[in-house]
Amino acid sequence: MKPNIKIISVCLLALTAILWLASCKSKEAETHTGSGQPQTYTCSMHPQVISDRPGTCPVCGMDLVPFDKSNVSDVLTLSEPQRALANITTDTIKTGSFSSYRQLNGRLAVNPEQTEFISSRVAGRIDILYIKETGVPVSKGQPLYKIYSEQLAALQQEYLIAIAQAAQFPEDKKFQQLAEAAKEKLLLYNQSESQVQQLKNNKQTNPYVIYASPANGVVSELLITEGQYVTEGTSIMRIEGYQNIWVEADLYPGEARLVKKGDIVNVIIPGYENEAYKMKIEFIAPALQAASQLLTVRGSISNKQNELKAGMQAIVELPVANSFKAVTLPVDAVIRDGKGAHVWLETGIGKFEPRMVATGAENFNRVEITKGVAEGDVIVVSGAYLLYGEFVLKKGKNPMAAHHH
């Protein structure tokens, strides 16, 4: 009997082992079938990174997120609250006229045609300097400085003697000519007709001369101080006018064919984007700038309100392409990466699908679409990047991975 008991015990142990192994295989099968599919993880920024366990992205270090690998559809479905939260807006494509521009970096500069160099017409001492610092605006006719000149006093005395002789000998033309010559000397020394007439009436010399500003502008340079002695021709100050200001832009030699003298271009001043400035190209430099491979193009724009200042940045837009029947989209509606460019179409209520497109010319706000969409398609114009991120999270791949050739 004892051998039979041992045989039965061995059989029971073997049966227990078989049942345990079968149970393990059943659980393993459940893990790999039906609802027990293995979880897959990816990086929201680098969908090419795929892992079967949680961790961090080897490219950027972000935590990997789970996604449904079995979902192969390229359509995203969003509820109305999700759409509102993501600020998804769409627009129907229409064809229309389109102009693209080449943007040139530029700057504002003082127009030398509106610069006045003030110099002394007589030798003497600067008795009063009415403008004592730079940056001060002045108006035409405003006193700038007062000078004491012995030479002027001598000329005034000479004129008084000449007119006295002319009055004493009215029949002698020689004295009349001497009087006229003495008057012309005073006028050349910036004496006005009224000052000369006052001298004639009062018969009293005045060695002081007040010089007034010849134009409106701003004192940009002051070269003398009060009490200083100057000679004839000494530079006193420089006045710059800003009613009209230069715009200079840099142009590569290969782009020189895009512009010619007389062309009308757009000028954008950062901070004044709402102001429309049109400028005619007045000058194209015949030689490259020193130590660079750039040409200079120049024009001028009006600055009646004196809002624009020399040295401010400017952007000059050269028109390079014009089309009267083009399909265009806002720049933010087109997503570009190493695989190309794509947009998002609304194919149904709350249903969005990526579409590969080919782009053409573009300007500051819009880009031309030459292939991939047509007039009448409904395109996502804001929130496209959020759809891109949602697609990566849910599908674990780049929206254009299957479209890249």
- The answer to whether residue 109 scores a pLDDT higher than 90 is yes
Q: Using 50, 70 and 90 to split pLDDT, how confident is the model at 67?
A: low
State the average pLDDT for the chain: 82
**Claim to verify: residue 226 and residue 123 sit in the same structural domain:** yes
Mean of pLDDT values over 60-89: 76
Mean of pLDDT values over 313-327: 83
Is 166 a member of any domain?
A: yes
Output the pLDDT for position 15: 43
- The answer to whether residue 7 scores a pLDDT higher than 70 is no
**Claim to verify: residue 193 and residue 256 sit in the same structural domain:** no
The fraction of the chain above a pLDDT of 70, given in percent, is: 85
Output the pLDDT for position 20: 47
Mean of pLDDT values over 4-15: 51
Mean of pLDDT values over 76-89: 82
- The answer to whether residue 299 scores a pLDDT higher than 60 is yes
- The answer to whether residue 26 scores a pLDDT higher than 50 is no
Higher pLDDT, 53 or 5: 53
**Claim to verify: residue 129 and residue 227 sit in the same structural domain:** yes
> What CATH number corresponds to the domain at position 201?
2.40.50.100
**Claim to verify: residue 223 and residue 137 sit in the same structural domain:** yes
State the residue range of the domain holding 388: 76-100+322-395
Is 20 a member of any domain?
A: no
Tell me the backbone φ, ψ of residue 186, rounded to 5 degrees: -65, -40
- pLDDT tens for 232-256 read 889 999 999 988 999 999 988 888 8
Is 6 a member of any domain?
A: no
**Claim to verify: residue 146 and residue 211 sit in the same structural domain:** yes
**Claim to verify: residue 94 and residue 106 sit in the same structural domain:** no
> What CATH number corresponds to the domain at position 270?
2.40.30.170
**Claim to verify: residue 144 and residue 290 sit in the same structural domain:** no
Q: Which of 41-50, 220-229, 253-262 has the lowest mean pLDDT?
A: 41-50
**Claim to verify: residue 183 and residue 294 sit in the same structural domain:** no
Is 2 a member of any domain?
A: no
Is 44 a member of any domain?
A: yes
Is 18 a member of any domain?
A: no
Q: Which domain-ending residue is among 238, 256, 287? A: 238
Question: What's the domain count of the chain?
Answer: 4
- pLDDT tens for 260-296 read 899 999 999 998 888 879 999 999 999 988 888 899 9
- pLDDT tens for 128-174 read 999 999 999 999 999 999 999 888 888 899 999 999 998 888 888 88
Output the pLDDT for position 395: 67
Higher pLDDT, 241 or 3: 241
